[in-house]
Structure 1
Amino acid sequence: MTENLNMPTKMPDVATSAKAQVTGTLDWVGMSNIEMPMTIKADDGQARQISTRIEAFVNLAEPQAKGIHMSRLYLALDKLSLEQELTLQSLKALLDTFISSHDALSDRAHVSFAFDYHLRRPALLSGNHGWRNYPVVLTGRLDKGQLDLELKVDVAYSSTCPCSAALARQLIQDAFEAKFHGQQQIDLDTVHQWLGTTSGIVATPHSQRSIAEVKVKLNDALNELPILALVEAIENALKTPVQAAVKREDEQEFARLNGQNLMFVEDAARRLKHTLDQSESFNDFWLRVNHLESLHAHDAVAVDTKGVEGGYQPY
């Protein structure tokens, strides 16, 4: 009898037909480092394309099952990439799809999107604008019907050491005394000109680029993804975010802001904690401030949480 080579051959599906070699449930199974473009719409009102790095998981609740259907997770992400915008609403629907596509296998789902988010930020005085990049991680988790949404943003800022500023002021006082000691009357113009020289300002405090890492649990009632709101809350609390477009007047204002906002790492952390405590959009928060020291070879770090029972832990 001649074999019909045109007959379709049913392909084996080991994930559903085979049994586990060793039985047992697993907390998470899925994929990481998925590279995929997304169209995102956050609270700045602009839909834009981003390049994301994605992790997608479901649990394996059936101890006898060989495995999950990873292709179903990928295809759900691909559909989101091609047909929808990444919003809080579509993220919730995606988690539902992860679980419904694994009926009898899974009752928990997790997804995270890591990407760079660019915002147009105004210069301090000149009226110019420039792009600033903010690393973002958006995470969603659905656990037996309980939804958990998290937003993480990194914000760069400048921190000027209060101790260094005090020591610099003392040196300036000493230089002033040495210059004008013994003079009964001091001419204002002479002092004014002297203060504008390197002899007048003999020392400056040290400052360094610093990073605020902030994670917040989002209120379920939110309609918009609050990336801009979180960035502005952080920058307004710290007062010295790094700048994009800078003219001389902007640089001078930046120097003034640094001088008026001297910060140890503890000061920066407390500023952020006070600001985040006031927000009704965030149910919980975790923060870490990193001062990348210019004096020391090590970094100065402070970590804090809102202190919600069962919420974020410092580590």
Structure 2
Amino acid sequence: MTENPTLPTAMPDVASSSQAQISGTLDWVGMSQIELPILVSADQTAPRHVSAKVEAYVNLPKAHAKGIHMSRLYVALDKLSLESSLDLAQVKTLLNDFLSSHDDLSDKAFVRFSFDYHLRSNALISDNQGWRNYPVVLTGRMEEGELTLEMQVDIAYSSTCPCSAALARQLIQEAFEHKFHGEEQVNAETVKQWLGSTQGVVATPHSQRSIAQVKVKLDGSDVSLPIARTVASVEHALKTPVQATVKREDEQEFARLNGQNLMFVEDAARRVKYALEQQPQIVDFWLQVNHLESLHAHDAVAVATKGIANGYSPV
């Protein structure tokens, strides 16, 4: 006689069938550092693959519920990775999927994508291009049916200290006076040659790599992520973004731009703030500019917000 095969038994689901050892509500439960390849749709250009790290959460407002279904969050993210591109509409769809898969447990959902996004950059003078990298963080939150979308971009630039420039000019003036003191007439060619020597330019102002961190809340009217648009707006305001491909003529132009755009950290913050105020799709913004000082061991920092009611707090 042939024995009947063993029928599969239902596997236990402890998260659904048991209660919490200690009751209490939780603001967020989920996963972080999820590594996924994501197709990003930005600025109405062709979607581009990036390597992203993702955080995914739902809340747990039921005090006695054991836990959430974390695998359901991952499955929704995996589906996005394989079948769609990341844009603002897909963030909304993803958060709704988080909630529909936890309709008996949660009423809030949160997701954050962190990735590097590369843009092509023209050289300042020479006929060259190169890649510039911009760290991007895209955050979505669904609460009481209301979607909040936030994008952060870090933008590197150069800043030259106005005070240092003034002090350097004074030293050059003093060197000129010492060199040509007592001469009633000074030959222009002689002065030109002297200015091109190390004795002529005896001091230079200090400059440093700087970072503008920009957070913007988006109204969702533009489905694709406005990465390039935001970067272009900030870099145009600052005038001295760091460069990719650099030939000698590009380096000289970069020096000229720094000399013509001397700025304290306050100046840089005001420039960026004004530029963001001109973008109608930005509901609110927060910015922090960081001058990574070459003179001091500390950094110079300025923070600004749009200043709307119930908007971003400066700190």
Q: Common fold, TM-score beyond 0.5?
A: yes
Q: Give the Cα separation in 2 of the matches to 1:198 and 1:220.
A: 55
Asked whether the equivalents of residues 44 and 224 of structure 2 are also in contact (C-alpha less than 8 Å), the reply is no
CA distance in 2, matches of 1:127, 1:233: 23
| Partner residue in 2 for 1:297 | 297
Q: How does 1:1-315 map to 2 (within 5 A)?
A: 6-43=6-43, 45-315=45-315
Task: Give the partner amino acid of 1:198.
Answer: T
- Residue identity opposite 1:94 in structure 2: L
Identity %: 68
| Structure 2: gaps of 5 or more residues | none
Name the CA distance, whole Å, in 2 between partners of 1:260 and 1:136.
30
For the residue of structure 1 that corresponds to 2:182, the secondary structure is coil
Deviation at 1:22, TM superposition (A): 2.2
Output the CA distance in 2 between the equivalents of 1:137 and 1:110. 13
Q: CA deviation at 1:4?
A: 5.5
2:34 and 2:147 mapped to 1: Cα distance?
23
1:251 shift after superposition: 0.4
Moved more, 159-168 or 302-311: 302-311
What is the Cα deviation at residue 309 of structure 1?
1.2
Rounded to whole Å, the distance in 2 between the matches of 1:242 and 1:56 is 33
Q: CA deviation at 1:3?
A: 8.8
Distance 1:124 1:285 in 2: 29
Letter in 2 for 1:202: V
Query: How many pairs are equivalent?
Result: 314
Tell me if the contact between 1:162 and 1:263 (Cα under 8 Å) persists in the aligned partners: yes
CA contact (8 A) 2:87 2:225 kept: yes
Deviation at 1:63, TM superposition (A): 2.2
Give the conservation status (yes or no) of the 8 Å contact 1:62–1:104.
no
Secondary structure of 2:104's aligned partner: coil
CA distance in 1, matches of 2:132, 2:309: 35
Q: Alpha-carbon deviation of 1:219?
A: 1.4
Give per-residue Cα distances to partners, 1:228-268, cap 9 Å, x unaligned.
01111111111101000011111000000000000111111
Q: Which of 66-75 and 217-226 deviates more?
A: 217-226
TM-superposed CA distance for 1:179, in Å, is 1.1
Alignment check: 8 A CA contact 1:44 1:228 kept: no
Shift of 1:65: 1.4
Q: Secondary structure at the match of 1:85?
A: coil
**Is the 2:88–2:220 Cα contact (8 Å) retained in structure 1?**
no
Q: Separation in 2 of the partners of 1:214 and 1:266?
A: 15
Counterparts of 2:137 and 2:6 in 1: how far apart (Å)?
49
TM-score, normalization: structure 2? 0.97
Tell me by how many angstroms 1:181 deviates: 1.3
Runs of 4+ aligned residues of structure 1 deviating over 4 Å after TM superposition are: 2-5
- Paired residues of 2:99 and 2:108 also in contact (CA < 8 A): yes
Which deviates the most, 305-314 or 66-75? 305-314
Query: Which amino acid letter does the alignment assign opposite residue 257 of structure 2?
Result: L
Q: Which runs of 5+ in 1 are unaligned?
A: none
Question: In structure 2, the residue corresponding to 1:183 is in which secondary structure?
Answer: coil
Question: C-alpha displacement at 1:204, in angstroms?
Answer: 0.4
Q: Give the alignment's Cα RMSD to 1 decimal.
A: 1.3
